[in-house]
């Protein structure tokens, strides 16, 4: 650095010290010089929920926007929220109307857990992902880094309620067929269920003893 430049620099320092020493400004300047793509990703955060109570319902006014930012179908996000919040709700244009009073903070927390489960890459934490199916497993595929992971939905009580065919559960079924071993065969919830000692065409309440993949074994509780 020449003497002239040194002099020039010190002159600037003394003229505008704030510009040089204000840490915040320095940070901002560094931030501004970053490429947009980097800023976008680093800044990604779950969008705020714009919710208000309307009578005995709760309206999320920016629901479609939130789904758009997460790059997921509003219906997909909604079905997750309904399960998690344990309430009913419908899409109305760009809004969602939930039954009852749901605290916006709670909606926000659920959207955040949705984002962690269904949107953010666990390798690079970016939201540029899509969901692919490999057999019965859903895989979150990252477009930014190529990372992928299975989507693991935590099994809550409500999730289980949706699937009536589980060990110990009682289900009403129609015996539509008789299998090679002589057991009655019924279909329910995507499962093939074998029931001992029942006739074809019988309507019975059964108790599920064992579930293996999409096959279940059950016994008759009573005729219905
Ligand atoms: Zn990634």
Q: Which residue segments constitute the domains of the chain, with CATH numbers given? A: 46-119 (3.30.70.3150), 120-155 (no CATH), 163-223 (2.40.50.140)
What was the pLDDT predicted at 60?
97
Opening angle at CA 51, ends 49 and 53, nearest 5: 160
112 CA → ligand 1 middle, Å:
18
Cβ-based neighbours of 178, under 8 Å, separated by 6 or more = 184, 185, 199, 200
- Stretch 96-122: mean pLDDT, rounded? 94
Go through the chain and tell me how many residues it has: 224
What was the pLDDT predicted at 80?
95
138 CA → ligand 1 middle, Å:
16
What was the pLDDT predicted at 85?
92
What was the pLDDT predicted at 100?
92
75 CA → ligand 1 middle, Å:
24
Q: In terms of Cα–Cα distance, which of 120, 129, 134, 86 is closest to 106?
A: 86
Q: What is the DSSP letter of 175?
A: -
- For the four alpha carbons of 91, 96, 101 and 103, in that order, the dihedral sign comes to positive
Looking up tokens 């934490």 gives 125
Taking the C-alpha atoms of residue 108 and residue 116, their distance in angstroms, rounded to an integer, is 12
How does DSSP assign 141-166, residue by residue? EETTT--EEE------HHHHHH---S
Please, which pLDDT band fits residue 113 given cuts at 50, 70 and 90? very high
Taking the C-alpha atoms of residue 113 and residue 153, their distance in angstroms, rounded to an integer, is 10
Opening angle at CA 142, ends 123 and 163, nearest 5: 95
Taking the C-alpha atoms of residue 213 and residue 49, their distance in angstroms, rounded to an integer, is 39
What was the pLDDT predicted at 155?
59
- Tell which wins on pLDDT, 26 or 135: 135
- Stretch 67-78: mean pLDDT, rounded? 95
What was the pLDDT predicted at 156?
53
167 CA → ligand 1 middle, Å:
38
223 CA → ligand 1 middle, Å:
54
Q: Is 115 a residue whose pLDDT tops 80? A: yes
144 CA → ligand 1 middle, Å:
5
Of 42-51, 159-168, 189-198, 208-217, the one with minimum mean pLDDT is: 159-168
81 CA → ligand 1 middle, Å:
25
Tally Cβ neighbours within 10 Å of residue 25: 12
Tell me the pLDDT tens digit for each residue of 6-55: 544 444 444 455 555 666 676 677 767 766 655 555 557 788 999 999 99
180 CA → ligand 1 middle, Å:
49
111 CA → ligand 1 middle, Å:
20
Q: Is 86 a residue whose pLDDT tops 80? A: yes
Q: Is 202 a residue whose pLDDT tops 60? A: yes
What was the pLDDT predicted at 161?
46
148 CA → ligand 1 middle, Å:
7
Classified as helix, coil or strand, 111 is helix
149 CA → ligand 1 middle, Å:
10
- Residue 14, φ and ψ in degrees, nearest 5: -75, -30
- Stretch 161-181: mean pLDDT, rounded? 84
- pTM for this model (two decimals): 0.53
What was the pLDDT predicted at 34?
66
């Amino acid at each position: 650095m020449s003497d002239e430049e040194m002099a020039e620099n010190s002159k600037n320092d003394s003229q505008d010290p704030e510009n040089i020493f204000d840490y915040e400004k320095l940070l901002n300047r560094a931030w501004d010089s970053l490429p947009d793509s980097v800023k976008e990703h680093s800044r990604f955060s779950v969008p705020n929920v714009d919710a208000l109570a309307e009578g005995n319902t709760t309206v999320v006014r920016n629901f479609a926007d939130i789904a758009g930012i997460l790059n997921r179908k509003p219906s997909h996000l909604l079905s997750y929220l309904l399960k998690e919040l344990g309430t009913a709700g419908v899409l109305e244009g760009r809004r969602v109307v939930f039954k009852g009073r749901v605290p916006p903070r709670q909606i926000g927390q659920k959207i955040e857990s949705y984002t962690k489960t269904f949107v953010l890459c666990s390798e690079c934490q970016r939201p540029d992902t899509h969901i692919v199916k490999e057999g019965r497993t859903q895989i979150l595929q990252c477009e930014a880094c190529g990372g992928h992971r299975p989507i693991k939905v935590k099994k809550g009580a409500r999730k289980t309620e949706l699937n009536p065919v589980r060990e110990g559960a009682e289900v009403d079924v129609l015996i539509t067929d008789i299998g090679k071993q002589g057991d009655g065969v019924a279909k329910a919830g995507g499962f093939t269920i074998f029931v001992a000692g029942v006739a074809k065409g019988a309507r019975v309440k059964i108790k599920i003893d064992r579930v293996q993949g999409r096959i279940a074994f059950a016994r008759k509780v009573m005729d219905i």
